[in-house]
Amino acid sequence: MKIILTLILIYRNAINGYLVACNTLSQINCQNSGYCQWISSSCRSLECHKVTEVRACSGKLLGNLYQKQLCKVAQNIDPKFLNLCIGYKQDTIKWGYLVYPQDNTQKSTYVASSGQLISLIATKKYPGQFKSEILTLNILKAQANDLINIMYGYLQQTNELCDREIPISFLEKAIYESMQQIRDDETITFTSSTPTKTDYYLALWGMTDAFFLKLRSQKISQYISYKYLINFGFANLQMEKLCLDTQFEVFELTWQYQQSGYIEVLIMPGEQFGFDLIHSNVIIIRISDLDGQNMSSQIQLKWIHQSQKIFISKQIIQIDITKMSIINNISGTCTQLGCVASLILNERKAYIIGDSTIKNCVGRSQSACRLGECTWNDSTGICS
């Protein structure tokens, strides 16, 4: 009789599981639900961008996450992404929450064909004949130490990856996949035991340095690439202008050519780094000479938001990209048309448009709450 009742319960969960509150599910049913997650011996709601059971987000079907006003069904998502649901209060998915699918042609054992463990590759240079093997590892299956070791492996191979036989797109893929894992792995925090989230970010910006080294080594005059979680811009200083579009903004950088070198630009949705309540991207800018060393230069940076008025009364804020914290406000002007600032750069610096509320916890969605290092109450759906 117990077996029959158990089978009935399993069948009921399989048919109507999306209706059931997460905190009532057993560990097995929680982990198999597609809309809940098992953490610290309890079952709680899954963040909207991670949901794989779309019925849980459906208003028509009275899905649990919809009834809790956490998530709703995403509309018109590019099929190359895995997202099925968006935040209940969102009109469209923010690029910072897009989910790339795994590349099933890549390895997930983290042992290269030569037999060397990735943990060894991360601490010493890989033999030259195997330099491309770091590219065969599946970053989107890597967790915690495996992920950081892969990232360190890329840093060890920085010069070798400049080989023209290795496509630039391979390095881009490694960067945005690493960003996705850092964003979604809930064990990676600024206060976790080593490695901390700061360690991951230091490795990430090292990978972007390797990317720009590859562009410089190939003497590319201009390069622009849009990868949603991160957009790349690179130009010879002789060009005196670089423009990049994002989901909500247009960025225009102008300067006067005075010395040979390059401008290196990264633009990324701010929500994946814990900044909230503003449709603004983090922009990282660095000026380098022909050898890749920091160079001093004055840049005019203009932000233009596609729905005007949103930048009125906002400030241009310099941020620390290793801790994702506010450093200070900088001089600039924000009007209905956008924001303009004249920047003196002598090293890599990062900026975002916003005000003091971009780090506040109150009113955040579940994903934004965790990424902002705030506390989420799954019972009440409140961030504090």
Query: Per residue in 19-78, pLDDT tens?
Result: 999 999 999 999 999 999 999 899 999 999 999 999 999 999 999 999 999 999 999 888
Report d(CA 342, CA 365) in Å as an integer: 34
For residue 31, give Cα distances in angstroms to 101, 183, 290: 19, 20, 52
Residue 11 confidence (pLDDT) = 43
Which residues are bridge partners to 222 per DSSP?
235
Element (H, E) at 299: strand 297-305
Q: How many CB atoms lie within 10 A of CB 7?
A: 10
The closest alpha carbon to 35, from 92, 106, 95, 84, belongs to: 84
Coil vs helix vs strand at 219: coil
The closest alpha carbon to 138, from 178, 166, 167, belongs to: 178
Which residues are bridge partners to 235 per DSSP?
222, 263
Q: How far is CA 70 from the centre of its chain?
A: 21
The CATH code of the domain at 220-384 is 2.60.220
The closest alpha carbon to 210, from 283, 147, 157, belongs to: 157
Query: Per residue in 323-367, pLDDT tens?
Result: 999 999 999 999 888 899 999 999 999 999 988 789 899 999 999
pTM score of the predicted model: 0.92
Asked if pLDDT for residue 121 goes beyond 70, the answer is: no
Over range 157-166, report the average pLDDT.
90
Query: At how many degrees (to 10) do helices 144-156 and 168-184 cross?
Result: 150
For residue 320, give Cα distances in angstroms to 202, 238, 298, 311, 328: 11, 29, 20, 21, 10
Name the residue ranges covered by the structural domains of the chain.
2-83, 94-218, 220-384
